[in-house]
Chains A and B, each alone.
Chain A
Amino acid sequence: MVTFQRAFAHNGRDGNCKHLALRIPHLSDDFRCRSAMTGGDDKRRAFEETALPHLDAVYRFGLRLTGNTAQAEDLTQETMLKAYRSWHQFRPGTNIRAWLLTILRNNFINEYRKAKHRAESVDISDVEMRSVFHDVAETDPEGKFFEQIVDQEVLDAIDRLPEDFKEALILSDIEGLHYQEIAEVTGVPVGTVKSRLFRARRALQKELFEYAVEMGYIKRSTL
């Protein structure tokens, strides 16, 4: 690290390095300085600033799709490298996160899905689609019981959703994509996204409610 700082002191570009460091706080100093040292690489700089902040989102989506951390890491790496190599295809002004998640999803379908041991998913075709609110209106209308449910239980319940529904829910509720963007990532009409999202949310809500009842976090309404 000291070596890099000296190098910057020599060529007077340490200011540039600091500037980058402020904008991308999670990048390692080492990488930032090395990037700046080689200098002039607009593509790399654009990629660092635009795509890398979405690494967590890419990894999370990979993890939910593959169901294991080793594959999620491989998939994330492959996705980011593909994105870097195809950087010229990214249209500025469009949603970079949606673009990265599309690359990840296509890669997953082509390379991983065949090999993936599919976990048993819940059948949500018969799930009652009314809000759990009506089950807790008397006891907990503000839904405070949710707070008692731990992260892992939520993730496990998401993983038990059928794949198409899980995908819509992750892209919307965790990664914040718009319906139109989800439609583009998953290759289905917006109407399908809406209905999948609706069913996925209600099915997950029901699962979490049942879990909370089982754990004694909340009593089922007798009404």
Chain B
Amino acid sequence: MTDRPREIDCGEAAEKLYEYLDQELDAATEAAVRQHLEMCAPCFQVFDFEKTYLKFIETRARAQGAPESLKRKLLDQLFREGSAAD
């Protein structure tokens, strides 16, 4: 027999919003939030909006990487370190 997730209200769902999106909840709480979202359209919309927002931050801020010149400099340094240790 599988346990049904416990029921939670909109307030609790809102409280757990980021932990849910970050996949930081324990399985039982996650199931409870998921069940609430399946039945509550307004909460689902907020969660969806926040998910879009987090994805947006990640994409925008990750676009930047280390300059090629730095990569080359570092590789040379590591090679010298390695040679010295050999």
Contacts and interface: CB of A to CB of B under 8 A. Distances in A.
Interface of A: 26-28, 30-31, 34-35, 38, 41, 43-44, 47-48, 55-56, 58-60, 63, 69, 73, 76-77, 80-81, 84-85, 131-133, 136-137, 141-143, 146-147, 149, 151, 154-155, 158, 169-170, 172-174, 176, 178-179, 194, 197-198, 201, 204-205
Interface of B: 18-19, 22, 24, 45-46, 48-50, 52-54, 56-58, 60-67, 70-79, 81-83, 85-86
Contacts of A77: 70, 73-74, 77
Given A41-B82, A80-B78, 6 more contacts: A34-B79, A56-B66, A59-B67, A81-B78, A131-B50, A174-B61
Given A35-B79, A141-B45, A151 B70 contact: no
B78 A44 contact: yes
A151 B75 contact: no
25 contacts: A27-B75, A28-B71, A28-B75, A31-B76, A41-B82, A43-B85, A59-B64, A59-B66, A60-B61, A76-B70, A77-B73, A80-B78, A81-B74, A84-B78, A133-B45, A141-B45, A151-B61, A151-B63, A154-B60, A155-B60, A155-B64, A173-B57, A179-B24, A201-B57, A205-B53
A63 B62 CA distance: 12
B26 to A, nearest CB: 13
A47 B56 contact: no
Q: Say whether chain A's binding surface is mostly helix, strand, loop, or mixed.
A: helix
A56 B14 CA distance: 34
Contacts, number: 128
Contact of A146 (B52, B77, B78): B52
Contacts of A60: 61-62, 64-66
A26 B71 contact: yes
Contacts of A172: 22
Q: Which of A48, A84, A133, A205 lies at the interface centre, i.e. has the most chain B CB atoms within 10 A of its CB?
A: A133
Contacts of B85: 41, 43
Given A80-B74, A173-B57, A133 B50 contact: yes
Contacts of B83: 38
A158 B60 CA distance: 11
